[in-house]
Amino acid sequence: MTRFPRMLSLSAAVTAAALATAGCSAADDDATPASTAGGQGDTSWADVQEAGVLVVGTEGTYRPFSFHEEGSGDLVGYDVEVIEAVAEELGVDVQFEETQWDAIFAGLEAGRFDLIANQVSITPEREEAYTFTEPYTVSNGVVVVRADEDSIDSFESLEGKVTAQSLTSNWKALAEESGAQIEAVEGWAQAVALVEQDRVDATINDKLTFLDYAKNNDASGLKVAAETDEQSYSAFALAQGRDELARAIDEALATLAENGTLAEISEKYFGADVSR
């Protein structure tokens, strides 16, 4: 099940340079807090350079973004490879600190790591509390139906149809706004199974979830019937005021976008470029 629905409404731009408060490096417990965002005293990038390591908070249980191969193998995933590529571009090593989602922002605020790499979507509320890099993932919502379903081609055409949705997701609210009847499910796996079995008409979820499913399963019996106009953006989250480190990461991301590395990692995990 995708994480985007639980992350509130999404903004379409990053304004990290507008954030200004204290921050300290996870790579150096004795680092001097930043005085103002981007101003003198922000030693976040210098601290990482001196330590030679970028400490990264991630779940390690969130496929395909951050997970262990076969449950106990190496830590891999889309977010893992993107931040590893960033670190290589910056000339530093990566140290991952695996943390449960419910505690990951507290860990960032406590200075346990320099940033979170875990498909953190950018929201107005989060922009007030954290510094964000430029996005490295762009997505939107999709209506998934059976391949032979021709009566659904828009959100408006969901009127009177039955969609399978988790009751705690934003996608349920969107389905209801579209006039659909809701069949409650625990998550994506159950929802897509009901669609394939012709027990419901459709399901709404994040496009990344569908792409991941199609990459790892036979999805020939399914299709995307409609997509939302509003896009969601995910980026690396840093403590407030750590703008120098954010800027260094932004430069690395720009290079990785230009040389095709981000697209290559995207294709590996999703079969499509989700980085822009």
How far is 145 from 13, CA to CA, in rounded Å?
A: 31
How far is 87 from 93, CA to CA, in rounded Å?
A: 6
Q: What percent of the chain has pLDDT over 90?
A: 81
DSSP 16-78: GGG--S----TT-TTPPPPSSTTSTT--HHHHHHHHTEEEEEE-SEETTTEEEGGGTS-EE-H
Domain ranges of the chain: 4-138+232-270, 140-230
pLDDT in tens, 22-80: 333 344 444 333 333 444 689 999 999 999 999 999 999 999 999 998 888 999 999 99
Query: Nearest-CA neighbor of 115 among 162, 45, 64?
Result: 45
Q: pLDDT at residue 89 above 80?
A: yes
Number of residues in the chain: 276
* 41, 245, 268 from 35: Cα distances, Å: 5, 14, 41
Q: CB within 8 A of 260, min separation 6: which ones?
A: none
How far is 154 from 4, CA to CA, in rounded Å?
A: 21
pLDDT in tens, 151-179: 999 999 999 999 999 998 889 999 999 99
Tokens representing 59? 């779940």
DSSP conformation class of 207: H
Q: pLDDT at residue 6 above 60?
A: no
The CATH fold of domain 4-138+232-270:
D-Maltodextrin-Binding Protein; domain 2 (3.40.190)
Amino acid at 163: T
Q: What percent of the chain has pLDDT over 70?
A: 86
Q: CB within 8 A of 90, min separation 6: which ones?
A: 48, 54, 248, 249, 252
Do the two domains 4-138+232-270 and 140-230 of this chain adopt the same fold? yes
CA torsion angle for 58, 89, 130, 136 (degrees, to 10)? Answer: -80
pTM of the model: 0.78
Which CATH architecture best describes the domain 140-230?
A: 3-Layer(aba) Sandwich (3.40)
